[in-house]
Amino acid sequence: MNLLYGFSFYPEHIYEEEAYQKDLKLIKESGANVVRMGEFCWDVLEPSEGVYDFSTIERAVNDLGKMGIQTIICTPTACPPAWMSRNYPEIAYVDNRGIRRDFGARHHYCYNNETYRGFTKKIVEKIGETFGKNPYVVGFQIGNEFAQEGSGRCHCDVCRGKFVQSVKEHYKTTENLNQSWGLRFWGQSYTDFNQIELPIAPTERDARPLIKSYFDSPSLRLNFERFASDSFIEYFNLQADILKSYTDKKITTNTTGFGTNGVDYFKMFQTADVFGLDAYPDLYRDNMDNSSFENSFARNIIRNEKFWMLEFSIGGGHGLWSGEGRLQPYPGAIENAVMHTFASDAGAVVHFQYKIFCSGAEQLNYALIDQDRVPRRRYFEFQRTMEHLKEHSAVLEHSQVKKADTAILIDYNSLWALRIKPVKHEHSYIGYACELYTALKELGYSADVISWKNDFSDYKTVIVPNMFVICDEAAEKLKAYTAAGGTLVGTFLTAIKDTDNVAISESGPCGLTEVFGVNISEIEPVFEDTVATIDFGSFQGKDKYWLDVLEGKGAEPIGTFANSYRRGEMIVSKNSYQKGTAYYIGTAFDDDCTKKLLDTILKEASVAKAPFTLAKGVEVITRECSDGDLVHYIFNFKREDAHVQAEKNCTCAITGKQLGKSIKIAPKGYIAIKI
C-alpha cells in the first residue's frame, strides 16, 4: 500500500531505554506505516554552535525503518535553540508593538534575518547529508506552521529595511507611491522612501494592538501583507533548494490551511512537490464543513498530486489553543475523519501525536495514547482504521476526486484587504466562501476551491465570493470566461478596490459592470434590527452581513427586497453576457435560502448533482477511477444513523454486496459504492 498513515513521534523526549523499546513495540503493533519527527529538536541536533548530534533521530528512523515504518523528517527551524537566541539576539522576531520575542516558546525568529538564515542553511545541509539518501525517509517537512501564533509579520529593523527596499523597487519614485496609495489623506505623503515605517495595527489573529485606535494606511498594510508572505516563501525555498541538492524525496511544509492565512499558499507551493497541511476538526460533533472546504483547497493547490495531512486530530484532553479542554472523539469518528481525508485525495494522514506530552505548553493535549503508554480505544480505533484503509487502498490509489463542474475562486489580496478593513464582525472572507461551499455540498454538488490565477475556463460555473480586490488580469479572465459561455456568480464586496487597496473611482463591480449588467447603487452592513426579507418569487430569505444594493444596467432582477424602505429594489441579478450568464448576489442569506438560490443557478447551468438524496451532516465524495468508473464515498458525520436514497441500485465498491437504493449508514460511518 502506497498510502501513508501514522502519527508524529518525538524520540528526543524519551530518556529511558525501556520506554523507548516499549514505544517501538506499540508503534509497530499499531499498524502505522509512517511517522513524522524532528520539527522541534534543534537543541538536540545542534546542542551548541557547530556541534551536531543526530544520533537520537537517526536511531529512531533506522529502528522504525527496519519494522517497515517510513519517516517524514522535519527541519527544526521553527524553534531556534537557547544558545542561538542568547548569543545572537538580533535573530529575534519583533511584533507590531516593538516587543522582541525572546527564547521560551516557539516561532521566536525573524525569517528575514541573515544571521538566522545562515544557521538555517547549516542545519538543513546537515539534515540533507544525514537523511537525504536514507531509504527509510519518505519525505521532508520544512519548518512548522509558518506565520502561526502571531509570528507572521516581523517588525524588526531588517524587515523594515527589506520592506522599504521592495516598495522603492516597485514604485520607483515617492511621487508615484504617494499617488498610488492615496497618501494625501491625513497628510501621509512621503518625500523619501526611508520615511516609511511598518504598520502598527495588526492583522494577525493572535497579535495585539499597540494603540487601540491607530489606523495605518490600508495601502501600506496590504503591501506589507504581501511582503511578509513573500518573505516566508523565500525562506521556505531557501531550505527546499538545499534539500533538493541532497534528495529526490518529496519536500513540503505543514500549512495551517485557512487557519492563520499569513502566507499565500498558491504562490508558496508553485515549486513544492506536495501540498501539506494541518487540521484539527472536532471529532465529537456533527460536521466536517471546514475540513471538507480545506481539503478541496488542498487537492487543487498541486493538481493530480495527493496532498499530505501532516497533523490531524486524534483525541481530546487539556486545552491550549482554544483556552479550554477538548472533547474526546465520538466512537468511530477517528476512522470516519481519516477515511474522509483519504477520500478527499490525501496521500498521507499523520495524527498529532503518538503519545501525550507530559511537559511543556502542550502537555496533556490530545494523542493516540496517554502518558501511561497504555493502549485504549483511540489506539484500537487507529488499528481498525489502518486495516480498513488497506481494504480501500486499491480504490483510493487508482482513482482521484472527480473534477468538479463548479469552481470557487480564492484571492489572498481580497482576504487580507477585508481583514485590514472588515465590514462586519460576523463576516469573514474565508467564512463566507466556506458557507457557499457547504451549501453546494449539502445539495450534492461538488466544488473545486482554486486560485483565480488557475485556468477555470472549462468549469460550467465559477463562483467569486467577495473578490474585494480586483486587477485587470482577473477582470479580463472573468469577462472571457462568461463571454465564452460560462456561468459567473459574483457576490457582494466584489471588484471594489485595486491591488494597492485603494477604491477604484468608478461604479462597482468595477471593470465588471458590463458583465453583470448592474451598478452598485448603495452599500451598508446588515444589523439585527435591519434584517430584511428578500423575495425570489418561489422562495424567500433573510439578508445578513452586507448589502450591495443593485441598479439595473441590462440585468434582470431575480431577488428583490420584500419589505423595508427598499421594497422592490434589486439585490440579486441575472444578466446575459455574450454566450454566458452572470449573476450578482448582493448580500448573504440564511442557509436554506442560500441553498435554494445556488440550486436554481446550477440547475440552469446544467451542473449535475451526485445521484443521492442527502441529509444534513452527510457528504458524498465522487472519485473517478483510472478505467473511468465512478466510486462514491458517502460519509455520515452525525451521531445517529443516516439514510441515503440513491437514484439507482447500488453495490459496495469494496465487497461487491448489493445495496439496493436505500442505504443506511451508521453513526460516524461511511461506505464506498458504485451505481
**Secondary-structure percent of the chain, ordered helix, strand, coil, rounded to 5:** 35, 25, 45
Active-site choice (39, 149, 204, 311) = 311
Q: Are 531 and 544 in contact (CB under 8 A)?
A: yes
Alpha-helical (H) ranges within 67-154 are 82-87, 114-131
Q: Is 650 annotated as a binding residue?
A: no
CB atoms within 10 A of CB 361: 11
Q: Are 75 and 40 in contact (CB under 8 A)?
A: no
Peptide bond just before 509 cis, omega within 30 deg: yes
Give the Å distances, CA to CA, from 157 to 97, 118, 198, 204, 220. Answer: 13, 18, 10, 19, 17
3-class state of residue 154 by DSSP: coil
Q: Which residues lie across from 36 on neighbouring strands?
A: 8, 72
Burial class (CB in 10 A: 0-12, 13-18, 19+), 58: middle
For 660: left if phi > 0, alpha if psi spans -120 to 50, otherwise beta; the answer is left
Active-site choice (39, 46, 145, 442) = 145
Report how far residue 501's alpha carbon sits from residue 499's, in angstroms, rounded to the nearest whole number: 5
Within 13 Å, how many C-alpha atoms sit on residue 638's CB side? Answer: 15
Q: Is 321 annotated as a binding residue?
A: yes
Q: Are 611 and 655 in contact (CB under 8 A)?
A: no
Q: Is 159 annotated as a binding residue?
A: yes
In this structure, what DSSP letter does residue 7 have? E
Q: Is 41 annotated as a binding residue?
A: no
Give the Å distances, CA to CA, from 434 to 209, 410, 429, 459, 619. Answer: 28, 11, 9, 19, 15
- Residue with the three cell numbers 505543514: 254
Report how far residue 354's alpha carbon sits from residue 346's, in angstroms, rounded to the nearest whole number: 20
Report how far residue 437's alpha carbon sits from residue 461's, in angstroms, rounded to the nearest whole number: 13
Q: Is 144 annotated as a binding residue?
A: yes
Report how far residue 92's alpha carbon sits from residue 440's, in angstroms, rounded to the nearest whole number: 45
Largest Cα–Cα distance of the chain, in whole Å? Answer: 77
Q: Are 401 and 345 in contact (CB under 8 A)?
A: yes
Distance in angstroms between the alpha carbons of the first and the last residue of the chain: 26
Q: Is 110 annotated as a binding residue?
A: yes
Note if 311 is an active site residue: yes
Cite the active site residues. 145, 311
Positions at the binding site for substrate: 106, 144, 321
* Residues of each annotated binding site: 106, 110, 144, 154, 156, 159, 321
Please enumerate, by residue number, every residue annotated as part of a binding site for Zn(2+): 110, 154, 156, 159
